[in-house]
Structure 1
Amino acid sequence: MTNNEDTIVALATPNGIGAIGVIRLSGPDAITIAQKVWKGKDLTKQASHTLHFGRIMDGDMELDEVVASLFVAPRSYTRENVVEVSCHGSNYIIESIIKLFIRNGARAAKAGEFTLRAFLNGQLDLSQAEAVADLIASNSKASQQIALQQLRGGFSSQLKQLRDQLVTFASLIELELDFAEEDVEFANRDQLKKLIHEITKVIGSLIQSFELGNAIKNGVNTVIAGRPNAGKSTLLNALLNEERAIVSHIPGTTRDTIEEVLNIKGINFRLIDTAGIREATDAIEQIGVQRTMEKISQSALLIYVFDADQITAEELTADIESLQKPGITMLLVANKADLLDGDEKLKKFKEKHRNSYDFQGSPTDGLVLISAKEKQQIDELKQQIYAAAIKENLSGHETLVTNIRHLEALQKTEEALIRVLAGIDTVTSDFLSMDIKQALHYLGEITGAVTTDDLLENIFSKFCIGK
């Protein structure tokens, strides 16, 4: 663990030349250390949340004209004295000022140490601290909104309510143990059953939300697959509205995967264009087909594209059966609809494939009919891609689990509570107490009510330095 009596310093803005750089000091001596090298108003006598213009001096040499922002404890991010110095964004100036602060009593901050101090000083709980890193890393509106909600304590508040209810019953059961010889019952077993059922229902819902939360946080792995010359690369270009992939009438043009990100309604879809699925004609194409199958197995959403004018019903059925995998949502896209000109051809197409999928005139009935070349129905396809991956209505108010550590802790909590229910009428109070304590322990790990040095080191080492 780090020494919280130290004053730490780090660059809070990204490395590289820019208009300004912000250097952050935090700790008991932050203001006095800054004052040692400051030329301007006496910073030790200024009020919190004020800005001051001055100069940073290394002896008689002026390093830069800067603005210092003062945050006096406990009214700061870390609940310590904090000084943020905004200087010009020269790497030389930034390094010189940081070295000057270190020579005057500060030390270089470790990764995530400012947020670690905010947690240790009670400004944030552990799940909120992790939300800080998620907010910094957010790359879509949806992931930003989820991180903000968690940072504001929405998830923590829900867990605290569950934990407080369990603590009450745990206390009553502990009381029973104190009076074990008198065979008294303080914790009503029926009420405990009801409470455990309610809590496991909420925890089960949180566990189920991870699939959606993880997709929003990290994006949805989306593979575009199909036979050669089905129009996969043309579809990728149409979805991105740019000529990203080489398009040719020659089958097997795409030999390797091409990956791009498409944002639909605030959700990032990581589109992967793959080599056509067929018996390879050479070693290079064979590698491409193998990579296609690997990408499909790793995907959450599979967009299967086929030539609506050429594929037979038997070929379509065989492809669907071979590509369907547990846990992977498949969206069928019939491409080259422009070749089905006229009602008669479209009628024959639907008749030919009626045994593969139902057609009721709606793209939600199993298949989307498009023309990637002519960019027909592309907006409708985007709607279907979104609906296939995000099966729930995102109101922005529900709690979604996005962190694998939180998921594992919730799963262990659920297992402990199931043991409580299984033994509530048969086991003695001491065994019930053990299982309830385990559930409390795992819930506490999420918010930081229960921590270890190794856990904190693992979490905060993934933060950027300066945060």
Structure 2
Amino acid sequence: MINQDTIVALATPSGAGAIAIIRLSGKDAITFADNHFKSVSEKKLLKQRTHTIHLGHIIDGKRTIDEVLVSVFKNPNSYTGENVVEISCHGSIYIQQEIIQLFLRNGCRMADAGEFTLRAFLNGKLDLSQAEAVADLISSDNEASHQIAMQQMRGGFSSEIAKLREELLNFASLIELELDFAEEDVEFADRTQFESLIERITFVLKRLIDSFAVGNVIKNGIPVAIVGEPNVGKSTLLNALLNEERAIVSDIAGTTRDTIEDELVIEGIGFRFIDTAGIRETKDVVESIGIKKTFEKMEQAQVVVLLFSAQEFKTESKRLKIEIEKIKNKFPLKPLLIIANKVDVLNASELNTLESEFENIHLLSAKTGLGIDELKMKLIGFVNTGALRNNETIVTNTRHYDSLLKAFEEIKKVQYGIDTNLSSDLMAIDIREALYHFGMITGQVTNDELLGNIFANFCIGK
């Protein structure tokens, strides 16, 4: 399945920059580079040691394209496990294309998306979960997602799965052996040890499956819908949280006609704040569309922030309580954070009355910044960051989550078989299925369709 041809691609983002890196990988990568590289010290790349860097020029016949630095990595000690050359050239788009086209004309092939990492996997440099973590690392946009991707790329998750699979495989071999000697009625697999292993696998699988709820949040961020009547300061609150003038602010009710989204990182966790168009009754057609979108965004959000003006409670207390109950009834499983904004205009007595009427209310002034930091801490409280702080394995990949669920179901069948003294041949079927799903995570069981789907989402050049 491993192609022996040499591939080439731009490894840095497309577009002009100070420096660009062009990567070649394959059996003849160093030969191709050597044919078009003229060292300032007359060195031949083929004779140089691995992991060395050389200054010179990329030439096309008698024409010099650019002065470059060429890094040489010889197999098997390279990212892909093949001969790899990285050419650091000036970042002109013209220069990038000239160098790439030069190698394409002279025997190289343009790399497919993720093909360098695919070759690393096929050559045994990475397992499949580590390869997927490479893509997660590239796309990580906050500290938490970066930490998890780094842990998985180093093999934290896959080593845990591989160890369980190896132990289960050993017992499976003994049970299969029993089937070969069925007529002698002998047991090679110690049932007590086997039951202990199944209990341990069940515990680990359950922990990993439960971690996906946190992992998915960390990887994709937490959508937070900021809702409330028009002109209560939703846009001002969004601007205060983001510390920039992202949303239009005015005294005219209904200024926000569409949802506005932006992201804030709090203690390494990404929050996507959505400022909506309000939830009042209106005959304005455009504003009605915005209100409809408000409910759609509340449905999509994991946390709902209900914002009202602190002045409203004096005359609108009953209506506000009805609105709170309406949201709680419509979204009973979503955390609801009730915020009274513009508290800077109230006196001490009014503030005490407000807090006594509305349980667990958060007092805030988006205009002055009062209560903003406390609000951020309440938001981070909705996320279980204990596993992250303790450096535990956290599952973020939907494919891994699906395989873990399927493996868990098979292990439960094995446990049932132990409890009911099921025959070895029937238990062996369930064990094989569990091993299959474990193997799907790390890549010990793969097919071309699976690999195509995974690596198609990579960027070209990685």
TM-score, length-normalised on structure 1?
A: 0.94
Q: Which residue of 2 aligns with 1:131?
A: 133
1:208-238 deviation digits (Å, cap 9, x = unpaired): 1111111111111111111222221111111
Kindly state the Cα deviation for residue 396 of structure 1 after the two structures are TM-superposed: 5.5
Cross-structure match for 1:363:
none
User: 1:248 deviation in Å?
Assistant: 2.5
1:350 maps to which residue?
355
Q: CA deviation at 1:17?
A: 1.0
* Paired position in structure 2 for 1:8: 7
Letter in 2 for 1:199: I
Is the aligned partner of 1:397 residue 2:391?
A: yes
Match of residue 64 from structure 2 = 62
Structure 1 residue matching 2:264: 3-state secondary structure: strand
Corresponding residue number in structure 2 for 1:414: 408
| Alpha-carbon distance between aligned partners in 1 of 2:453 and 2:355, rounded to the nearest angstrom | 56
Q: What's 2:380 paired with? A: 386
Q: Which of these residues, 238, 247, 250, is aligned with residue 248 of structure 1?
A: 250
User: CA 1:249 to 1:438, structure 2 compared with 1: closer, same or farther past 3 Å?
Assistant: same
**Partner AA of 2:310 in structure 1:** A
**Alpha-carbon offset, residue 281 of structure 1:** 2.6
Structure 2 match to 1:368: 362
Cα shift readout 1:45-74 (whole Å, capped 9, x = no counterpart)? 001111111111111111111111011111
Whichever residue aligns with residue 77 of structure 1, its letter is: Y
- For the pair 1:32 / 2:31, whether they are aligned, the reply is yes
Out of 332-341 and 41-50, give the one that drifted further: 332-341
Are residues 21 and 351 of structure 1, via their aligned partners in 2, closer, same or farther at CA, if it must alter by over 3 Å? closer
* Cα contact 2:59–2:65 (8 A) shared by 1: yes
Q: Answer with 448-457 or 241-250: which moved more.
A: 241-250
Give the residue type in structure 1 aligned to 2:393: T
Does the aligned pair in 1 maintain the 2:263–2:272 contact within 8 Å? yes
Cα pair 1:145 1:396 within 8 Å, conserved: no
Residue number in structure 1 paired with 2:435: 440
Q: Report the Cα offset of residue 14 of structure 1.
A: 0.9
Match of 2:84 in 1: 82
Match of 2:451 among 429, 449, 456: 456
Describe the SS at the equivalent of 1:127: helix
Other-structure match for 1:333: 339
Aligned residue among 409, 425, 428 for 1:430: 425
Q: 1:57–1:115: structure 2 CA closer, same or farther, 3 Å change rule?
A: same
Aligned to 2:200: 198
Moved more, 180-189 or 37-46: 180-189
Cα 1:133–1:326 change in 2 (3 A) is: farther
Distance 1:391 1:80 in 2: 40
Cα-to-partner distance string for 1:372-410 (whole Å, 9 max, x where unaligned): 122101111111111123454631511111110010000
CA distance in 2, matches of 1:309, 1:203: 51
Alpha-carbon distance between aligned partners in 2 of 1:246 and 1:43, rounded to the nearest angstrom: 59
2:265 maps to what in 1?
Answer: 263
Aligned length: 454
More moved, 324-333 vs 93-102: 324-333
Distance 1:183 1:314 in 2: 77
3-state secondary structure, aligned to 1:389: coil
Shift of 1:126: 0.5
Q: Is the 8 A contact 1:132 1:151 kept in 2?
A: yes
CA deviation after TM superposition for structure 1 residue 314, in Å: 3.3
Q: Is the Cα–Cα contact under 8 Å of residues 329 and 389 in structure 1 kept in the other structure?
A: no
Q: Report the CA distance between 1:313 and its aligned residue.
A: 4.4
Q: Return the match for 2:461 from 434, 457, 466.
A: 466
User: CA-atom RMSD, angstroms?
Assistant: 1.6
Q: Which shifted more, 99-108 or 438-447?
A: 99-108
Asked if 1:314 corresponds to 2:313, the answer is no
- After TM superposition, what 4+ stretches of structure 1 lie above 6 angstroms from structure 2? none
2:22 & 2:146 partners in 1: Cα distance? 25
- Give the conservation status (yes or no) of the 8 Å contact 1:331–1:388: no
Paired with 1:367 and 1:122, the residues of 2 have a C-alpha distance of 55
1:326, distance to aligned residue in structure 2 (A): 4.8
Deviations 1:121-175 (CA, angstroms, capped at 9, x unpaired)? 1111101101111111111111111111111111111111211221121111111
Give how far 1:195 is off: 1.9
Structure 1, unmatched stretches of 5+, are 358-365
For residues 99 and 402 of structure 1, the distance between their equivalents in structure 2, rounded to whole angstroms, comes to 38
SS at match of 2:78: coil
More displaced stretch, 424-433 vs 188-197: 188-197
- 1:277 deviation in Å? 0.9
Contact 1:36 1:104 in 2 (8 A): no
> What is the aligned partner in structure 2 of residue 226 from structure 1?
228
SS in 2 for 1:149: helix
**How far does the alpha carbon of each residue in 1:233-278 deviate from its partner, in whole angstroms, 9 at most, with x for none?**
1111111122222222332222210111111112111110001112
Q: CA deviation at 1:348?
A: 1.7
Which one is further off, 293-302 or 190-199? 190-199
Structure 2 Cα separation of the partners of residues 419 and 258 of structure 1: 48
Distance 1:97 1:287 in 2: 52
Work out whether residues 355 and 361 of structure 2, in 8 Å CA contact, stay in contact via their aligned partners in 1: no
User: Equivalents in 1 of 2:395, 2:310: separation in Å?
Assistant: 40
Q: Is the CA contact 1:68–1:83 (under 8 Å) kept in the aligned structure 2?
A: yes
2:17 maps to a residue whose letter is: G
**Does the 8 A contact of 1:213 with 1:401 survive in 2?**
yes
- SS in structure 1 of the partner of residue 290 of structure 2: helix
1:74-153 residue pairs with structure 2 within 5 A?
74-153=76-155
What's the % identity of the aligned pairs?
A: 57
